[in-house]
């Protein structure tokens, strides 16, 4: 991936940190985007030292249109054209479907589905204009394939299912321009988003029993899939949803 420039959203914690490191391990320069800028600064410093690539932290809210424009213009000015995009930022609000508010629903759709769509659109439009190929990786979820057996997660399961099928649609539309669009569908992995729920009595055991490998994932276990889909190794792969889930969706 040397000579390529990757953007990872939600790079201030959890799987986003691992996606960013995966691109850096592959040799790409990396733009880190999330709202908590100080965390991005710290990670950028660590990554520059460890991987010897250029890293640009940008504090931004990707549900805000002006922030999407700013991420792109700043990246282009500082590093060059973004040609690898990892749409990772996401939220999973819990609540009973019969009571969930319109605001909670709208916020989840805005971050999990609308932001990846328009960030992908903006970056792909620039690549198409310049005749450059690219890669887009959407982080969906096993819960984009089926309902949760553990939590009440209507906005999450609906938005992640939407993101999985958006992946296929964009892959088909942009194949002619050499832009491969794929998704990674993680299973249960402890992060800031999931730790609290995993710690509740009985939940870890239930999640483990639903997973053929019999354990939760480690955040760094996402790296291999990111490297595969972002690099030359994945050149003939587009429109796929790659499960990194310990077999959760296999039965
Ligand atoms: N962990 C799992 O078990 C699991 C399983 C399946 C799928 N996933 C998916 O993996 C992705 C990462 O999840 P995670 O577990 O790593 O959760 P996490 O640690 O909570 O990370 C979520 C990231 O999204 C960022 N974010 C939230 N709102 C944002 C906004 N408006 N603008 C920009 N960035 C925003 C957060 O940063 P700031 O707060 O700094 O903005 C944070 O970096 C999500 O899409 C999630 O659905 C996770």
Q: What is the pLDDT of residues 18-53, one digit of tens each?
A: 999 999 999 999 999 999 999 999 999 999 999 999
- Output the CA angle 121-126-132, nearest 5 degrees: 115
Q: Name the closest-CA residue to atom 30, ligand 1.
A: 61
37, 46, 50, 86, 251 from 61: Cα distances, Å: 10, 23, 27, 15, 37
In a domain, 249, yes or no: no
In a domain, 251, yes or no: no
Residue-level pLDDT at 96: 96
Residue-level pLDDT at 82: 98
> Could you confirm whether 156 is annotated as catalytic?
yes
Read off the pLDDT of each residue in 49-58 and give the average, rounded to a whole number. 98
Read off the pLDDT of each residue in 137-157 and give the average, rounded to a whole number. 96
Q: Name the closest-CA residue to atom 20, ligand 1.
A: 193
In a domain, 28, yes or no: yes
Residue-level pLDDT at 16: 99
> How many domains does the chain fold into?
1
Residue-level pLDDT at 221: 98
The set of protein residues with a Cβ atom below 6 angstroms from ligand 1 is 9-10, 12-16, 34-36, 61-63, 88-92, 111, 139, 141, 186, 188-189, 191-194
The residue range of the domain holding 180 is: 5-244
In a domain, 250, yes or no: no
pLDDT tens, position by position, 77-88: 999 999 999 999
pLDDT tens, position by position, 204-228: 999 999 999 999 999 999 999 999 9
In a domain, 233, yes or no: yes
CATH number at residue 123: 3.40.50.720
pTM over 0.95: yes
In a domain, 76, yes or no: yes
| 149: pLDDT strictly greater than 90 | no
In a domain, 40, yes or no: yes
Read off the pLDDT of each residue in 191-203 and give the average, rounded to a whole number. 95
Residue-level pLDDT at 128: 98
Tell me the percentage of the chain whose pLDDT exceeds 90: 99
């Amino acid at each position: 991936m040397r000579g390529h420039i990757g953007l990872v959203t939600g790079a201030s914690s959890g799987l986003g940190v691992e996606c960013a490191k995966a691109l850096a391990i592959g040799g790409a320069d990396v733009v880190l985007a999330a709202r908590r800028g100080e965390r991005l600064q710290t990670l950028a410093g660590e990554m520059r030292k460890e991987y010897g690539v250029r890293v640009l932290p940008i504090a931004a809210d990707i549900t805000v249109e002006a922030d999407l424009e700013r991420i792109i213009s700043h990246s282009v000015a500082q590093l060059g054209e973004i040609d690898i995009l990892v749409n990772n930022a996401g939220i999973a609000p819990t609540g009973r479907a019969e009571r969930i508010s319109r605001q909670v629903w709208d916020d989840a759709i805005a971050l999990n589905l609308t932001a990846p769509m328009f960030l992908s659109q903006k970056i792909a439009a620039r690549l198409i204009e310049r005749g450059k190929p690219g890669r887009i990786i959407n982080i969906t979820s096993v819960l984009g394939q089926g309902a949760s057996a553990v939590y009440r997660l209507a906005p999450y399961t609906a938005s992640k299912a939407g993101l999985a099928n958006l992946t296929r649609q964009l892959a088909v539309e942009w194949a002619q321009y050499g832009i491969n669009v794929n998704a990674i569908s993680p299973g249960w992995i402890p992060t800031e988003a999931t730790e609290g729920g995993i710690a509740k009595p009985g939940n870890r055991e239930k999640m483990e029993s639903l997973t053929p490998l019999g354990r939760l994932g480690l955040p760094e276990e996402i790296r291999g899939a990111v490297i595969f889909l972002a690099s030359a190794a994945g050149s003939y792969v587009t429109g796929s949803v790659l499960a990194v889930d310990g077999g959760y969706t296999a039965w």
